[in-house]
Each structure stands twice: as C-alpha cells, then as structure tokens.
C-alpha cells in the first residue's frame, strides 16, 4: 500500500562519508529548529532526525512554523504574481516546509506511537487543517493560477509544470475555492472534524491492540500453531504479569493482530480458532474504543463535503481525481471481476468441502469462517506438497533482500547497498540503503520490517521522506535525491536467527519496494509531479503489483530461497508446485477484494442519501451476501478496522487495487512476450518501463504514461488469464 504523508521523501543511497548532522539548536533556540533539524547520509540529505522529535517541541514549534508560513502566504495573496517563479515556486516552498515538519511527526505516530506525542499532535492539527483550507480556498491564488495558465509563459512551461498548474487549479475547485460565507465556513469545519475523526479511528486501533488478547492455557489448545508464534505469545503472557509462562507449557497470550492470525490458519483446536477469529473481526468495536460511530460520522461529513463542492456523492468526488473515467466504469470493472470469479469460487468451495469430508472433518457439515483458512491450508498442503509455515525456513530476510536487489540491478542497472550506520533511525531493527546508478548515489530508502504491538499500526506501506525537487538541490546539483521509507509488519526473528518470512511477507516486501521504484527512479525535478506526486490513486499500485509478478518466475524464486539450516535452495519440483499454487482459491480471493471494493464504493456513494436508511455495516453485509461464496460471521464487519478507508487515502478508492492490477498484469505481459529468460529482451523492455512508468511520475496523466510504455491501453484479459478466471 502506498500512503501519502505530508512529508517529502526519496530513496537515497548513502556514500562512504560519515553522517553529517545539523548542529543541535542552542538552549535558547526555538522549538521549531528542533523539529526542522535534519541529517545527511553521504549524498543523501534532508533526512529527519527521528529521535530528536520530542513531544514538548511539537506545539510551540508548529505554532512558530505556521506563523511564519501564514505571513508568507499573506504576502502571496496580497500581491500575487501570476508567473511560475513568482507564484508556484513560493507555494511549493511552503508545502515543502509543512511536509518536512508534519510528515515525520505523523510517521512516528504510526511506527512509534506514544500518548504525549499524540496529545501534542492533536493540539496543533486543527491549525494545520485551517491553514491548509486557507491555501486551498484562496481566491487570489486561484485567480493568479488561472491567469498564469492563460498567459504566454504557460506555453514555455515544461510538461510537468503544465500538469502541476492544471491539477492545482482543479484541486482548488474540488476543495471549494468558489465557496462563500456560511458554505465556506462549513467546509472548513468539516475538514477539521474529519482530521480529528480519522486520527481517532487510527488511534483507537493502536490502543486496542495494546490490551486485546486471546488466551490459551492447555497444550492441546495450541496444537499446530508454529513455535515462533507460541514463543511470542508466552513472552506476551510474561509481559502481562504471568510468571513462568513458557513456549512449551504456556500459558499463551495471543495479541489480536495480523501476525498472530496464523492461529486461525494453523491452529488445530477449533474453539481457539473461533475465539481468535471473533476477536480479530471485532477490532474497532470495543466499548471504550468503538470505531462504528466514528466511521458513520466520517461518511456523513464526506457526503456533505462532496455536496458543498458540487458532486452527487463522495464517490463521485473521489473518482474525479482518478484514472477511472466515471463511477459507472468502477462498477463495470468490479461487476466483471465478480462475474468471472464466482463460478470458480463455487468450484473451490466444493473442492474444499469434499476434501474436508475425505479427512473426516465434522465441520464439513457446519463450515464456519474460522474453518476456511485452516482447511484451505490443509488442502493446499495436500494438493501441492508444502505448507506455508514450513516454507518460512527457506526465506531469510537477508537472502530475500539480496534477491530483490539483484532483480533491481538486472532490470534497471541500479545497485542497492546497506548504509544503516550512516542514517538517523527511529528503531533499532531498521535498515537504510543507498541506490547507485553508474556508481553515483541516486536515491535511498528506509526499511522497518517487523511488527511492534501497541506502537506500530498494522499493515504495510511505502512513503516519501524526501522528494526529488529543484528547491532542495544541493550545491552543484539540479535537484534533491529522493528517499523513501518502507514499513512492514512481518514476524520478528527468533533469538539468534535471521527473520524467516512467509511467501505473503515476501510478496509484501516486493510490493512496497515496487512503490518505491517510482520514487527512486523518477526523472522529474519539479517537486509537485515527481515520484508518486500527481499519479492518480487508481494507478499508483501499478509499479507495486508489477514487482510482485517476478516471484512467479521459477529461476528467480529459487534465487530468493536458502534453507536457514542447510543453505540449500528450494528444489525445482517444489518451486513448480508453489507457482502452480499461485491461483489456489483465486476465485474466492478475487471475490474478497471485490467485496471490499464494492462495500467501500457503495457506502461512499449511497450512505446518508435520500431514501437510504441502511447503516454502513448493513450495506457491507448485503454486499457480502450477494458477492461471497464462503461463509462469514453473522454481523461481521471489516469497516471498524478498515484503516485504508477511514485513516488512509483509499476512501471510495479501494477499487484501485483491482484497477491497477489490470495495468500490472498487462505491463508484465510485455516482459512475457519477449521471454522472461531472454536477458537482452528483458533489459530492453525494463528500460522502457523505467523511462516511462517509473520516470515520468505525475507529469502526465497515468493513461498517457501507460500508452507510452505499452503502445495501447491495458486490457483485463492478462489478469483474468493469469488468475485462471478466463
């Protein structure tokens, strides 16, 4: 998942020179200086000093920053100069500075949550929203932009600058620049309240994870659960005050998070599977941290906001800024995918029940949602001769990283090397890397790989630390070097061992690194359109999902594997079985994504509208009943824990995963057409992919960028064939 924080980042490679830090402010220096302090790692500059961000500096420092920026913006408004240098450059400087202060604070709340920092951020967030609203709704700036767009200078702007200007004008229109009086004031109230609610939604889940537990006391209850998970559960029990809790004898306290969901996948004890499944699906609904009223208010305010700026629904407002041409086009894609997947999903269900009966499983006559993952895993083991937990022994994080970086060099001619000792970090388990091309550092990135319950929110994401932009160019350079951050929630390593990864975790790493390649290799030096800036949200998953496809190429997958004890790679027969299993339960997996996308789009299109009396959870449930084949829990809802929609950037846009998956499958088809073992042909196609999809950022609409790469529009056929749905 790609998230857009306020901060600008870049993938950067550190040189062999030591880290040079900006001196600490003197005792009487402002709090703002402390927040703006940055560090350099060789050629990579503008890196936040993460551990130097203190809660005590946030409120006074941010107030000082906003006072300075308010004065600068007032000067622009009072005498707007309708030129690129006089208008657009000063505006970018303001946004850059905002991002370099707020971005790191926001990021730390996602990966190193602490109540004092949250309290400090809450205190200043309304002022940030108010200032952002003021910038977005400035009539003077809007008119100056339109004057610039109609001027002779506009013809001399480069492609990226032209798009930055046109999209800035459209963005201000979507933000209500034409609103006056009470309507304008109401829009600003909504924006402030939405920021508060999204923060509450996210924070509730982080807080809940600190205390939510599923407990087991007897050995028979934990049969089948991997030892690494039991070790973590015993450690949690000791932290909860249970003296003598051990991996072998328990008791075991399972934190209710994604890492421990393997209880449902591998636990032989059905009651424990049920208990964990129910607890996991109940996230966001606890009495004191209930996200249901939060999300309902968010949806109501989004609909009201959309109406204020002239749209029928928030879904229509969302699509206006995306690659999809209309809301109808979104529904058409999702309906087509559902129609293709449902017959396959029904066949998969029949196969699963037949297997369960053959194994003597009593639950075959009463299949429940907590049985599906467990028996699907057993069926996969039986059919393909491996189990997902056993495969972990072959995928060591250091070896997987070596394989990923070798692929990067093969495709794009770029080398990736560690530089952790030279960069400021926010956790001891982090890594930092530099990216070189032609022996010159061109970018860098952070990797924060492991789950940290109670301080790091779930999921995985990529974000920008430093954008490529002329405004941050070093002496003698034309622009800053980009730096990215990649965050995962993989299982932490056992003591004395490297981290062992599941296939899903390996795919997640490839996915997030794919996002980063659009930042690492961007050639656009205008900050507003470099990297992922201005890339439409439903095209932003193209590079990430494309990068995953390499894992289905047998020689490459073999190169990622090395048994943790023997050092042997996976044998060819097992690799072929793994790849053959790629479409295992693909019909139901597609329906699950269609459910999420349809529920998201429906609630943002219909909730609160005239004649619509269903709650968001009821709307989701009705979509599930019409879409799904396998059973679900009565009243089950993903929405109270769906951070993508209510604390991220995917509201009325979760369909983007499937939209971009069509692009990614079609793009990978270009490599398949020349032959994946044709080294010269692959390099040629990769060079074209790099010079278009990865290099051009948001300087052109995504459909034009894709046509430059492929010579035509994408077709869904490649995806349907790949997933066995066609």
Active site residues per annotation: 512
31 and 124 Cβ atoms separated by less than 8 Å: no
- DSSP element (H, E) containing 46: strand 44-48
Closest CA to 88 of 151, 156, 170, 145: 145
Contacts of 339 (CB under 8 A, 6+ apart): none
What's the CA angle centered on 625, arms 624 and 630, to 5 degrees? 80
Chain Cα centroid distance, residue 316: 23
530 and 697 Cβ atoms separated by less than 8 Å: yes
Spatial distance between the Cα atoms of 484 and 697, rounded to a whole number of angstroms: 15
For residue 140, what are its two tokens?
């003077």
What are the φ/ψ torsions at residue 689 (nearest 5 degrees)?
A: -60, -45
- DSSP element (H, E) containing 443: strand 440-450
255 and 231 Cβ atoms separated by less than 8 Å: no
Full strand arrangement of the beta sheet holding 20-21: 20-21, 38-41, 44-48
Spatial distance between the Cα atoms of 48 and 101, rounded to a whole number of angstroms: 9
What are the φ/ψ torsions at residue 46 (nearest 5 degrees)?
A: 65, 25
Count of other CB atoms within 10 angstroms of residue 492: 16
Full strand arrangement of the beta sheet holding 461-466: 414-418, 431-437, 440-450, 483-490, 461-466
| Helices 89-111 and 55-78, packing angle to 10 deg | 160
Give me the DSSP letters along 558-602.
HHH---TTT-PPPPHHHHHHHHHGGGTTHHHHHHHHHHHHHHHHH
What are the φ/ψ torsions at residue 495 (nearest 5 degrees)?
A: -60, 130
678 and 665 Cβ atoms separated by less than 8 Å: no
Spatial distance between the Cα atoms of 466 and 530, rounded to a whole number of angstroms: 11
Closest CA to 388 of 459, 481, 491, 465: 491
Q: What is the dihedral of CA 328, 333, 339, 340, to 10 degrees?
A: 170
- SS3 readout for 365-401: HCCCHHHHHHHHHHHHHHHHCCCHHHHHHHCEHHHHH
Q: Is 628 helix (H, G, I), strand (E, B) or coil?
A: coil
């Amino acid at each position: 998942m790609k998230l857009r924080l306020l901060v600008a980042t870049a993938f950067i490679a550190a040189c062999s020179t030591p880290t040079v830090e900006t001196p600490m402010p003197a005792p009487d220096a402002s709090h703002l200086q402390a927040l703006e302090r940055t560090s350099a790692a060789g050629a990579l500059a503008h890196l936040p000093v993460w551990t130097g961000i203190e809660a005590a500096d946030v409120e006074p420092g941010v107030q000082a920053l906003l006072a300075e920026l308010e004065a600068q913006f007032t000067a622009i408004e009072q005498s707007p100069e309708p030129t690129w240098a006089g208008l657009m450059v000063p505006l970018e400087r303001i946004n850059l500075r905002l991002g370099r202060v707020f971005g790191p604070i926001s990021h730390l709340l996602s990966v190193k949550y602490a109540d004092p920092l949250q309290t400090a951020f809450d205190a200043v967030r309304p002022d940030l929203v108010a200032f952002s609203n003021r910038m977005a709704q400035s009539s003077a700036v809007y008119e100056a932009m339109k004057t610039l767009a109609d001027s002779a200078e506009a013809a001399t702007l480069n492609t990226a600058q032209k798009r930055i200007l046109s999209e800035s004008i459209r963005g201000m229109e979507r933000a209500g620049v034409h609103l006056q009086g009470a309507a304008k004031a109401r829009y600003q109230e909504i924006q402030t309240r939405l920021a508060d609610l999204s923060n509450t939604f996210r924070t509730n889940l982080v807080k809940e994870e600190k205390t939510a537990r599923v407990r087991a006391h007897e050995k028979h209850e934990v049969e089948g659960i991997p030892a690494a998970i039991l070790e973590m559960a015993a450690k949690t029990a000791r932290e909860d005050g249970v003296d003598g809790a051990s991996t072998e004898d328990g008791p075991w306290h399972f934190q209710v998070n994604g890492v421990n969901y393997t209880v449902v996948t591998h636990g032989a004890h059905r009651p424990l599977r049920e208990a964990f499944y129910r607890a996991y699906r109940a996230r966001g609904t606890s009495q004191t941290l209930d996200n249901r009223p939060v999300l309902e208010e968010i949806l109501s305010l989004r609909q009201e906001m959309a109406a204020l700026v002239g749209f029928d629904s928030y879904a229509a407002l969302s699509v206006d800024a995306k690659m999809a041409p209309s809301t109808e086009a979104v529904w058409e894609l999702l309906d087509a995918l559902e129609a293709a997947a449902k017959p396959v999903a029904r066949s998969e269900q029949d196969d699963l029940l037949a297997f369960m009966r053959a194994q003597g499983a009593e639950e075959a006559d009463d299949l429940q949602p907590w049985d599906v993952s467990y028996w699907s895993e057993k069926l996969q083991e039986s059919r393909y001769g491996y189990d997902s937990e056993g495969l972990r022994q072959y995928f060591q994080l250091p070896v997987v990283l070596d394989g990923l970086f070798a692929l990067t060099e093969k495709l794009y001619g770029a080398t990736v090397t560690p530089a952790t000792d030279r960069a400021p970090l926010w956790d001891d388990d982090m890594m930092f890397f530099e990216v070189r091309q032609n022996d010159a550092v061109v970018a860098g990135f952070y990797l924060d790989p492991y789950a940290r319950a109670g301080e790091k929110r779930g999921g995985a994401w990529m974000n920008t630390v430093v954008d490529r932009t002329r405004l941050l160019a070093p002496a003698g350079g034309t622009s800053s070097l980009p730096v990215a951050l990649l965050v995962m929630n993989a299982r932490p390593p056992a003591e004395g061992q490297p981290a062992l990864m599941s296939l899903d975790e390996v795919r997640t790493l490839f996915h997030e690194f794919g996002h980063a390649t659009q930042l690492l290799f961007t050639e656009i030096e205008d900050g507003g359109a470099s990297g992922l800036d201005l890339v439409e949200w439903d095209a932003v998953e193209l590079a990430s999902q494309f990068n995953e496809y390499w894992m289905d190429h047998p020689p490459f997958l073999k190169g990622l594997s090395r048994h943790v004890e023997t050092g042997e790679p996976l044998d060819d027969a097992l690799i072929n079985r793994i790849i053959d299993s790629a479409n295992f339960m693909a019909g139901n997996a597609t329906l699950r994504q269609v459910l999420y996308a349809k529920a998201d789009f429906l609630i943002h299109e219909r909730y609160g509208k005239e004649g619509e009396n269903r709650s968001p959870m009821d709307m989701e449930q009705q979509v599930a009943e019409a879409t799904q084949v396998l059973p679900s829990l009565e009243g089950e809802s993903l929405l109270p824990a769906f951070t993508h929609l209510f604390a991220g950037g995917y509201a009325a846009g979760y369909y983007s995963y499937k939209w971009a998956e069509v692009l990614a499958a079609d793009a990978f088809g270009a490599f398949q057409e020349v032959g994946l073992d044709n080294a010269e042909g692959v390099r040629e196609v990769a060079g074209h992919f790099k010079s278009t999809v990865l290099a051009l950022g948001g300087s052109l609409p995504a459909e034009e960028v894709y046509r430059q790469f492929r010579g035509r529009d994408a077709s869904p056929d490649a995806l349907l064939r790949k997933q066995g749905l066609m």
